[in-house]
């Protein structure tokens, strides 16, 4: 019966390792190291991570943990308090109306946040909204439409 500590691959599946740098008799004139160069010398070779003088990958990456997006999505932030003072009851709020009032940059997506109170009934269309903002708008009798991601 075979045991785990006795398992070995068959002789046809293994290959003897090349004994490099152990004299001429083992592997021909240059001892299996080739003719010239850094790797043919005793103690030759390059350290781990060396990329031939190019700035190595470990130096290109950040030192600290975490992740920072290369192109982060920057949102226009709109709070409920801003909508309360700038819009009348029953009006629709979307990117065009917010841009006309000078509140946002139309090129960026818009996010609705729940800072402040809303007492007016508004129909709001934005790219994102916090759950507290949605609750506040719906409790005031309005509605929030969230656009699908592009």
Q: Where are the domains of the chain?
A: 17-65, 76-146
Q: What is the mean pLDDT of residues 134-139?
A: 94
**Spatial distance between the Cα atoms of 97 and 110, rounded to a whole number of angstroms:** 12
**Spatial distance between the Cα atoms of 44 and 73, rounded to a whole number of angstroms:** 49
- State the pLDDT confidence band at 75, using cuts at 50, 70 and 90: very high
Q: What is the pLDDT of residue 69?
A: 87
Q: What is the pLDDT of residue 99?
A: 94
Q: What is the mean pLDDT of residues 75-98?
A: 92
Q: Which CATH architecture has domain 76-146?
A: Ribosomal Protein L15; Chain: K; domain 2 (3.100)
- How many other CB atoms are found less than 10 A from the CB of residue 98? 23
pTM: 0.55
Share of the chain above pLDDT 70, in %: 99
Q: What is the pLDDT of residue 150?
A: 57
Instruction: Tell me the average pLDDT of the chain.
Output: 90
**Spatial distance between the Cα atoms of 98 and 143, rounded to a whole number of angstroms:** 16
Measured between alpha carbons, how far is residue 15 from residues 9, 12, 47 in Å? 11, 8, 27
Beta partners for 78?
A: 112
Pairing status of strand 128-129 against strand 92-93: unpaired
For residue 25, is pLDDT > 90?
A: no
């Amino acid at each position: 019966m075979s045991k785990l500590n006795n398992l070995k691959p068959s002789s046809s599946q293994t290959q003897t390792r090349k004994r490099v740098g152990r004299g001429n008799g083992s592997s021909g004139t240059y001892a299996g190291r080739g003719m010239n160069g850094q790797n043919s010398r005793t103690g030759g070779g390059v350290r781990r991570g060396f990329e031939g003088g190019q700035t190595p990958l470990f130096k290109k990456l950040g030192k600290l943990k975490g992740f920072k997006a290369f192109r982060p999505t920057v949102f226009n932030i709109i709070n409920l308090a801003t909508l309360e003072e700038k819009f009348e009851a029953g009006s629709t709020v979307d990117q065009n109306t917010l841009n006309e009032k000078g509140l946002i940059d139309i090129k960026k997506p818009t996010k609705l946040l729940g800072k402040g109170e809303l007492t007016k009934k508004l129909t709001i269309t934005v790219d994102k909204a916090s759950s507290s903002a949605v609750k506040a708008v719906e409790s005031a009798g309005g509605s929030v439409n969230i656009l699908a991601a592009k």
